[in-house]
Amino acid sequence: MTKSNTMWGGRFAEGPDAIMEAINASIGFDRRMARQDIEGSRAHAAMLAATGIVTASDAEAIREGLLTVLSEIESGTFDYSTALEDIHMNVEARLTELIGAPAGRLHTARSRNDQVALDFRMWVRDQADAAIDALPRLMAALVDQAEAGADWVMPGFTHLQTAQPVTWGHHMLAYVEMFARDLGRMQDARRRMNECPLGTAALAGTSFPIDREMTAKELGFDRPAANSLDAVSDRDFALEFLSAATICAMHLSRLAEELVIWSSAQFRFVRLSDRWSTGSSIMPQKRNPDAAELLRAKIGRILGAQVALLTVMKGLPLTYSKDMQEDKEQVFDAADSLMLALAAMTGMVSDMTAEKENLEAAASSGFSTATDLADWLVRVLDLPFREAHHVTGALVKLAEEAGIDLPELSMEQMHAVEPRITEDVFEVLGVRNSVASRTSYGGTAPDNVRAQAARWKEKLA
């Protein structure tokens, strides 16, 4: 393979020195787009032949030669050259070695500007497809957990303080809703990115009689991009992917944080399998939730990528500027991080065991049915809610001073605060009765959870 870059022709008398070559080259990272580059070039060659711009024999030689190049890349035998700057020129140079003069016709009616816009868009589209495929698997694992624990009682928290009893299934389904929104955002971004920039050339289009509809269809796009200036300089597709990925990573981080807390000796709500835990080099009793902790941190990389790309793009005039070479590495890293995080979380959720007895014991402490008591005072004794709130607070204080929970108060103790309370109050003070009563749509009642789990299983199927 040639090691010198002669594409500049006679314009420059001297080649770049080592520092310029190093800062200018992108082959160290954009080689990841090799498959997309070759797919785009094969579609472009077919179109050039169909429109009579190149001969059918030259186009066939180009298309077959590109398959050979792809085979070399995939087998690891391809010799990359930094002097050739990027994946486009590396592929074209090797193609020239393989088929000779016809390779020089491949770049007719296109520019590296629309070529890289195409390659990068296709690569990001593939990553969106991967996320769209992975998210339902995580959601299905959460639905399985929800179905198994539809009536398992646990504490619901605000401010990480015990608030009201909820069910394990209801808590799992909360994350299903979050990841469903992530799935919708990724699908929406994918629809919007599915316009083909190929054929817009350097920035103004081309005078050759190309068929952009043909290449768009061949490459799986809905349509060709409508404005050449925008097409070569648009990176919104990458920003939208990163935005969806960042929100998804935030949701993964929230769930990971709960798994870290829940698996601690102080909570003992869940047990993570050995596949997702590690030991300590010095403390033999430790089971560290390292996978969850690493997942919790992934948002930093993904959010960082979004901020980095926004910063690159924020002040660029139309159309292409070399700044845009800085658009890829952070997106590559973010996509890798997201896919790894989704796979790891799916594994953890599938394998984890909820400690049912510990969940219910925790739900039964911390005066978690205080709101149920206040609601009962309103419903049965017709107290204004603010007065019921005050009465309940006084009963909580009484129980706290006695070192007991609300269901353990005697009628005598309750009557000292509100004489009209009857024995019926104990029906709402148990945590199981509490969750069973939350039958409003979206509430935590076990029947609601089962219905929602069934709905999601049907949708995910």
| Rounded-to-integer distance, Cα 322 and Cα 71, Å | 30
Active site amino acids: 159, 280
Inform me whether the pLDDT recorded for 266 exceeds 80: yes
270-271 and 161-167 as β-strands: parallel, antiparallel, unpaired? unpaired
pLDDT digit string, tens, across residues 144-183? 999 999 999 999 999 998 888 999 999 999 999 999 999 9
**Mean pLDDT score, 91-106:** 97
DSSP H stretches of helix in 263-369: 290-313, 329-351, 356-363
> What value does the mean pLDDT take over residues 433-438?
90
Report cis status (omega within 30 of 0) of the bond before 346: no
CB 283 within 8 A of CB 251: no
Between 286 and 230, where is the model more confident?
230
- Mean pLDDT on 414-441: 89
Separation of alpha carbons 54 and 323, rounded Å: 33
Q: Which two tokens stand for residue 149?
A: 């624990």
- pLDDT value at residue 146: 98
Per-residue pLDDT tens digits for 361-417:
999 887 878 888 898 899 999 999 999 999 999 998 988 898 888 888 889 898 989
Burial class (CB in 10 A: 0-12, 13-18, 19+), 57: exposed
Q: Tokens 């049965």 sit at which residue?
A: 380
Mean pLDDT over the full length of the chain: 92
Confidence label for 284 from pLDDT (cuts 50, 70 and 90): very low
* Distance (Å, whole) CA 63 – CA 444: 59
CA-derived radius of gyration, the chain: 31
**pLDDT higher than 70, residue 257:** yes
Burial class, 24, CB count within 10 angstroms (exposed 0-12 / middle 13-18 / buried 19+)? middle
Q: Is 100 within 8 Å of 62 (Cβ atoms)?
A: no
pLDDT value of residue 2? 42
Complete DSSP assignment for 64-98: HHHHHHHHHHHHT-----GGG-SHHHHHHHHHHHH
Report the C-alpha gap between 355 and 195 in whole angstroms: 49
Taking only the tens place, the pLDDT of each residue in 439-454 is 999 999 999 999 999 9
Identify the pLDDT of residue 149: 97
Averaged pLDDT for residues 318-340:
95
Token reading at 371: 């709101």
pTM of the predicted model as reported, rounded to 2 decimal places: 0.89
Q: How far apart are CA 383 and CA 375, in angstroms?
A: 9
pLDDT at 133: 98
